Amino acid sequence: MNEKPRKFKGGVHPDDSKALSASKPIQDAPLLEKYTVIMHQNIGAPPELVVKKGDAVKKGALLAKATGFVSVPLHAPTSGIVSAIDKCPGPTGLAIPAIEITADGSDEWGSPFEPIADWRQCPPAELRQRVADAGVVGMGGAGFPSHVKLSPPPGKEIDTLILNGAECEPYLTADHRLMLEQAEEVVVGAAIIARIIGLDTAIIGVEDNKPDAIAALEAVAGRYNVRVQALPVNYPQGAEKQLIYAITGREVPVGKLPMDVKCVVQNVASAVAVADAVVRGRPSIERVTTITGKPVVRPGNWRLRIGTPIAKALELAGGISEQPAKLLLGGPMMGIAQRSLGVTVMKNTSGILLIAGDEVSLYTSEPCIRCGRCVEVCPMSILPATISQAVENKRFDWAQQLNVTACIECGSCSYVCPSHRPLNQHFKWAKVEIQSKLRKK
């Protein structure tokens, strides 16, 4: 029997705007003439290039190898020629190294991994190595190497595996469609991950505004000893620490990780990538992405290969009906605003969102009025207004003492602030300064 989920502190309820794409089945994107594959697609060390300009590659071929434990390899999204190794616009606005592949049109697989059909009998270490070799990362947005999460250090007992199917970010419906259309792959991925970390079961947490996805998962979950937990709609329900508390009642202390409370969390899209790597022997070269927003002619969900230019992705959705005011990768709460259509799809590109001009308010930040709303909605129980003032005065040491590093950058405080203060941006700035100081030491 499912326990009643717990409500974490704080949170907000923005208009979810999911109706634009929630009913749109996943479509496979057609083969493009060129793909520009950004090299560094994971948290941790970037991979090392193993191809050069002019090389012929097959689909799934190794383009770059992992350079350490917290690193993942990169594979070709199609067959063709490595036509350039240069820099392209990155999602943060900086030019970053990328590999351009000109497709040969055959889309021919090279030598994919040997499928592990009987994964229930396969040693966990071998399954974990397959996840690493396939380049699977956290596809909910973080891009953290999945094999690292599935390698608890000695002495770290894990008793709970949670799959994040909350998809609480407004507009995004890629995970929803994945759970609805590929429920068995989600559940098989969960079961494989559970075997890797030595568990017999897993829990999939899904917000209860997706009853069709919950029903689809429950129809197959029992065959793999997986449980589906419906969760109340409350942003940021899908944040790791909030998800863990909602399902288990355990609180992850500041500065600690889910493993410190015996939990591992993986995204449902990552679970499908794990199932693909193990059962089908395929590396991580594609992902389901929501293309949406009022200016988009045909909002929907597409299975895009890594290296797909954002401009081409928008063409798949029929182009635009009006000039957008903003282009975001991700959702409106945590997504990153872009200044170039030359940015390409990465393993963690969950959404491509266009915001119309009449949906964006141009405003000037005003002084804090001490209303306390940011404190009420903060899911991490920090003091956003006070930290923001510390940052404005470049007192990053003070911000650090006030636990700015505990901020999960959900944007709830910015969302409710009547003075339109750039709280989330202040916290990101503070973290960069604190990390820079630590590196210098």
**Per-residue pLDDT, 363:** 67
**Per-residue pLDDT, 2:** 59
pLDDT surpasses 90 at 315: yes
Token pair in block for residue 295: 């200016």
Per the listing, tokens 């979810």 go with 16
Token pair in block for residue 145: 């190497």
Token pair in block for residue 64: 């770059």
pLDDT surpasses 60 at 44: yes
Q: Give the Cα separation of 176 and 169 in Å (integer).
A: 11
Q: Give the Cα separation of 172 and 116 in Å (integer).
A: 32
% of the chain with per-residue pLDDT over 70: 99
Q: Are the C-beta atoms of 116 and 122 separated by less than 8 Å?
A: yes
In order of 132, 288, 333, the CA distances from 300 in angstroms are: 30, 10, 19
- Give tens-digit pLDDT for 333-358: 999 999 889 899 999 999 999 999 88
**Per-residue pLDDT, 171:** 97
- Across residues 164-172, what is the average pLDDT? 97
Q: Which domains does the chain have, with CATH numbers?
A: 1-26+109-358 (3.40.50.11540), 373-440 (no CATH)
Please report, in angstroms and rounded to a whole number, the separation of the first and last CA atoms in the chain.
51
Helices (H) and strands (E) in the chain, counts: 13, 17
Residue 60, C-beta contacts closer than 8 angstroms, at least 6 positions apart: 75, 76, 109, 110, 111, 112, 282, 283, 285
- Give tens-digit pLDDT for 80-129: 999 999 999 999 888 999 999 999 999 999 988 999 989 999 999 999 99
Residue 198 zone, left/alpha/beta (φ > 0; ψ -120 to 50; rest): left
- Give tens-digit pLDDT for 132-157: 999 999 998 778 999 999 999 988 99
Q: Side by side, which strands form the sheet with 226-231?
A: 226-231, 202-207, 160-164, 263-267
- Give tens-digit pLDDT for 415-431: 999 999 999 999 999 99
Q: Give the Cα separation of 13 and 103 in Å (integer).
A: 44
**Kind of pairing, strands 160-164 and 202-207?**
parallel
- Give tens-digit pLDDT for 177-223: 999 999 999 999 999 999 999 999 999 999 999 999 999 999 999 99
- Across residues 313-327, what is the average pLDDT? 95
Alpha helix (H) ranges present in 116-168? 124-133, 146-149
pLDDT band at 440 (very low <50, low <70, confident <90, very high): confident
- Across residues 289-310, what is the average pLDDT? 98
**Per-residue pLDDT, 1:** 44
**Per-residue pLDDT, 362:** 65
Q: Are the C-beta atoms of 345 and 304 separated by less than 8 Å?
A: yes
How high is the mean pLDDT of the chain?
Answer: 95
Is residue 271 helix, strand or coil? helix
Beta strands in 10-151 (DSSP E): 26-28, 34-38, 48-49, 56-57, 62-65, 74-75, 80-89, 95-103
What count of other Cβ atoms lies within 10 Å of the Cβ of residue 34?
Answer: 17
pLDDT surpasses 90 at 359: no
